[in-house]
Structure 1
Amino acid sequence: MRDLAALEQNFQAKFEALNQVHLSDGEFSRLLDQIITSDVFTAARHLRERNSFERDDGTPLFYTLVNIRDWCKKSFEVVNQLRINTASSHHRYDVILLINGVPAVHIELKTLTISPRRAMQQIVDYKNDPGNGYTRTLLCFIQLFIVSNRSDTWYFANNNPRHFSFNADEQFLPLYQFAGQDNRKITHLDSFAETFLAKCTLGQMISRYMVLVAS
């Protein structure tokens, strides 16, 4: 899976399997038009709720994008080096984690000698680019960003542009480092991935521990 077309095809297959339905080409195109939004809050709410869609014959289809009853019982996929080309943006994303075909986590990786701040700035620049994939494609459903240079790993939530930038000290707020039960920070990427990115842990982080606030 390397481009937008493949991402959408995969999402359609997962959507149809979850909701036990087959969509026509026209229905799927209208579904994308309905769910893709530039507003982070609207996308996050849509991801967590039961929604409805009018089919070609005028009947309603009630659906969910993911299994909202049990976030552990989902299809999890990892996509490397995804390229999203829109009319005015040409971006490549290091790692995208899909939940039931929906892009939910974006991971940007740097080498050991480069500060994770560079990855944070890259994400901010991507989001500020007109026509970017975060507002024009399924990437609008990204909930979390993770940045790491392997030894130092941070995560932060997606947000609308006016709350998504660096301050004068080049510190993105709020930033988090994951800690274990003993309250020790888990900063190395391998250890972080084994704990934070475990299916149920990641599902719980998105479904239970993220507070949605309209802004």
Structure 2
Amino acid sequence: MSVDPLSSYQNPQDSRRTTLKEQDIEYGLLGVLQGLKYDYRKDITDRASLEKNFREKFEALNRVTLSDAEFARLLDEIVSPDVFAASTTLRTYNSFTRDDGTPLNYSLVNIKDWCKNQFEVINQLRMNTDNSHHRYDVILLMNGIPVVQIELKTLGVSPRRAMEQIVEYKKDPGNGYTKTLLCFLQLFIVSNRDRTFYFTNNNTAHFAFNADERFLPVYEFADEDNRKITHLDEFADRFLKKCDLARMVSRYMVLLAGEQRLMIMRPYQVYAVQHLVKCIDENNGNGYIWHTTGSGKTLTSFKASTLLKENESIHKCVFVVDRKDLDRQTREEFNRFQEGCVEENTNTAALVRRLLSDDYADKVIVTTIQKLGLALDDTSTRNKQRSQSGQSTYSQQLESLSGKRIAFIF
């Protein structure tokens, strides 16, 4: 079906009023998003049209034409009340058995290059499921998949009310978040235009108000100078640009398998990782990142390490700590962020083996400075013992790495 990608949203009422209403804020946001090259789809208003659009995008991406029965089965397989399971499906290649028994390997979005997905915006989506009849202000689609919901309130009304509304919607039995494509939502944004906050979607155990009636964790976006960006228009321009949003979802959100929970990096962590990776990409020498206690240094280091792992010009990314207890703690944290991310180097020999290994699983290494020193120091006891027994020393074995790029994070 041919749809004008920039179909103009018509403000249904005269906006020349003294009080800025929710409808006016929504109208302004849609204009900003169209300016950011989102396709405005005023034809997507309910579950049927949402699924129809997703089907078109899915078939185009995976170069396949599904029968109606196959598409119905596909929806049954991918739609899940489990936010973590749906988020995993969004980020991975999956397999589907067609009616004739042949397998179809597919992805829901362009995983190789998230920026090349199709980005659309819809508003006032009405979702009727079981006893639920909910309407959602603004939703951003990535290849037909809902990934961001934006709930708006009238200027002067606290955005907290929008947070409460989302929690209430999710608690409603048979709600759209559990039985439709809305299960893939990754982020919620709430705003009254002047104050804007965002937070991740999650399963019920990690998605509620706590005893102090505060919703955790909720973030305000900030620039590199830590200036808060609270106005909705500036927030959209800085946070919701198509590639920036794609990178936020694909790179700077973390799925904690052990806790079955989604988390998103804070703005300063994102900037730190970006500068670190850029410094290494451009071979700009050494640098440092200043994080205070409790600010998430390990997560910053983990994310930098995993992104460097994707860099083919980097042979290894070695995270070095100065104590054995930190070695264990860091490994546990890394593996909490991503199961099986790093293995224990029980001794110097294991460390050397992994440094020399071409196995992709060994590309990120966590070790102590003591083990690393023992491997590189020709005068160390272990190297002397190996030399005396006619074996090549660890330092001699590591000479083959002299021409390779290795990133050390201390």
SS at match of 2:253: coil
* Cross-structure match for 2:139: 96
SS at match of 1:44: helix
Q: TM-score, length-normalised on structure 1?
A: 0.99
* Cross-structure match for 1:142: 185
**Structure 1 residue runs of 4+, over 2 Å off?**
none
Task: Tell me the alpha carbon deviations over residues 148-206 of structure 1, each in whole angstroms, 9 at most, x when there is no partner.
Answer: 00000000000001211112332110001111122211110000000100011100110
Q: Is 1:16 matched with 2:88? A: no
Deviation (angstroms), 1:134: 0.4
Of the candidates 69, 76, 82, which is equivalent to residue 119 of structure 2? 76
SS at match of 2:255: coil
Of the candidates 27, 32, 45, which is equivalent to residue 88 of structure 2? 45
> What letter is aligned with 1:4?
R
SS at match of 1:107: strand
Counting aligned pairs with the same residue, the percent is 70
> What letter is aligned with 2:151?
E
* Cross-structure match for 2:229: 186
Q: TM-score, length-normalised on structure 2?
A: 0.52
* Cross-structure match for 1:166: 209
- Specify every segment of 5 or more residues in structure 1 that has no aligned partner in the other structure, as ranges: none
Distance 1:49 1:160 in 2: 19
Deviation (angstroms), 1:87: 1.2
Distance 1:163 1:69 in 2: 30
SS at match of 2:69: helix
Task: Tell me the alpha carbon deviations over residues 113-143 of structure 1, each in whole angstroms, 9 at most, x when there is no partner.
Answer: 1000000000000000000000000000000
> What letter is aligned with 1:123?
I
**Once superposed, what is the RMSD of the aligned Cα atoms?**
0.7
Distance 1:68 1:165 in 2: 30
Q: Which structure carries more relative contact order (alpha carbon 8 Å, separation 6+)?
A: 1
Deviation (angstroms), 1:53: 0.2
> What letter is aligned with 1:133?
G
Distance 1:182 1:175 in 2: 20
* Cross-structure match for 1:125: 168
Please state which structure has a larger fraction of its residues in helix: 2
Q: Is 1:195 matched with 2:238? A: yes
* Cross-structure match for 2:104: 61
For residues 101-120 of structure 1, the aligned pairs below 5 Å read 101-120=144-163
Distance 1:197 1:162 in 2: 28
Bigger Rg, structure 1 or 2: 2
Deviation (angstroms), 1:65: 0.2
- Specify every segment of 5 or more residues in structure 2 that has no aligned partner in the other structure, as ranges: 1-43, 261-410
> What letter is aligned with 1:98?
L
Q: Is 1:209 matched with 2:252? A: yes
